[in-house]
Amino acid sequence: MTPLKVAVDFVAALRAASVTVPLASSRLFTQALSEINLANPDEVFWTARAVLVKRPEDFEVFDQVFVAYWGGLGGGLVWRTQPPPTSVTLAIDDSTQPPSPQADTNNNNQEDENNTENIIVRYCATETLNKKDFADYTETELSECRSVMQSITVLGALRVSRRRVPTRKMRGNLDMRRTMQRALRTAGEPLVVARSVVGMKPRRLVLLLDVSGSMEPYARVLISFVHVCVASRMRVEAFALGTRLTRLTRELSQRDPDRALKAAAQSVDDWSGGTRLAEGLQRFNDEWGTRGMARGATVVILSDGWDRGEPALMQEQMQRLSRVAHRLVWVNPLKASPGYAPLAQAMAAALPYIDDFVEGHCLDSLRDLAKEVLSGGRAVPFARRGHAVGVGFQR
């Protein structure tokens, strides 16, 4: 088959596939076929594509026509060499660090020598940890969870401030003082009217973490969540509840999580010991809560509600706290357990005064807590004032 016949038939195939090929390009392609090596498929392909295709949108159609036409020729113009057989090895890389360039170079050299393609599949345990119970964490998973915990953002709810702030919009009240100050620049003429609106400020957040022995599997993770809340925003207070009440705001205010958790561990002497929730709440109310710290604040108690103290004392202290707090949230990791019911005496006594009764057993539950409850989402409690247990959220 002559180059002229090959060129004419191939150009006709392209035009049949709606590829515009000018007559001058067809002549140039015929001349090029006599200059290149027809046994080399790369030379034929790139010569035809450079000469015959004028629009980028025709590249895909050209590739299809080229394969169909040149692959079916019986004259031996294009030798279709088959690549040598290769074997694929699947390697599971469970490391948490990205592969180094030296490792990639070694893998490429080994692939060239053995003609074997190594596919490295990396997995991420974050998706697994999102719904896994904190009590089932291993030490490795606990370390990774603390790293993931740093990505949780707690914006916090806002409340109306006593101060007014200026605004450029045509709303709010007339700001006479700023209007007159601007009028002094324009010979006493009030050309620009200043306005002000009611300002907003973050509502104080108070976190009370139960560090008793029954809460130990969860407290070792929840302390990282408390650190995120304290270190990420202002007006946050943190306490540890055990056999005594320990304030941890100063220790957890450090940005470095390792240093903050180490300082908090040194400050809490009764970690994984007994529990006196009612006495701890009484001390908090007497020394901090009713004196101003809990007034208008969102108070979050992270506890399983297991306490051997008097239910009447727990009921009294929860009633005092609910009177001054804007919102009272109880985070119970056991709430996600199948068939759970708040039958413990302390939990049953505190339930009528709780605004939100939520879970706290996994990363997803803490994200929901930070997003829906602590950051201004409106919660509709079903467990308020002795009704059925449960909580729903409404935006």
242-272 pLDDT tens trace: 999 999 999 999 888 889 999 998 999 888 8
Question: What pLDDT does residue 93 have?
Answer: 53
Question: What pLDDT does residue 240 have?
Answer: 95
Domain map (residue ranges) of the chain: 3-70, 87-123, 161-201, 203-394
- Amino acid identity, position 100: S
Hey, CA dihedral for 258, 259, 260, 263, is it positive or negative?
Answer: positive
CATH number of 203-394: 3.40.50.410
As a whole number of Å, the end-to-end CA separation of the chain is 75
Question: What pLDDT does residue 222 have?
Answer: 94
Per the rule left: phi > 0, alpha: psi between -120 and 50, beta: everything else, 98 is beta
Name the stretches of the chain with pLDDT < 70: 1-3, 71-126, 376-395
Distance between CA atoms of residues 310 and 383, nearest Å: 22
CB 384 within 8 A of CB 361: no
Distance between CA atoms of residues 217 and 230, nearest Å: 21
**CB-based burial, 146-156: b 16+ in 10 Å, e otherwise:** beebeebebeb
Question: What pLDDT does residue 302 have?
Answer: 95
Question: What pLDDT does residue 44 have?
Answer: 83
Distances (CA, A) of 86 to 82, 113, 121: 12, 12, 19
Residue 310 CA neighbour count, 13 Å, CB half: 6
Q: Of the candidates 247, 248, 246, 385, which has an alpha carbon nearest to the alpha carbon of residue 328?
A: 385
CB 137 within 8 A of CB 145: yes
- Helix or strand or coil: residue 127? helix
**CB-based burial, 73-100: b 16+ in 10 Å, e otherwise:** eeeeebeeeeeeeeeeeeeeeeeeeeee
Q: Are strands 356-358 and 116-122 parallel, antiparallel or unpaired?
A: unpaired
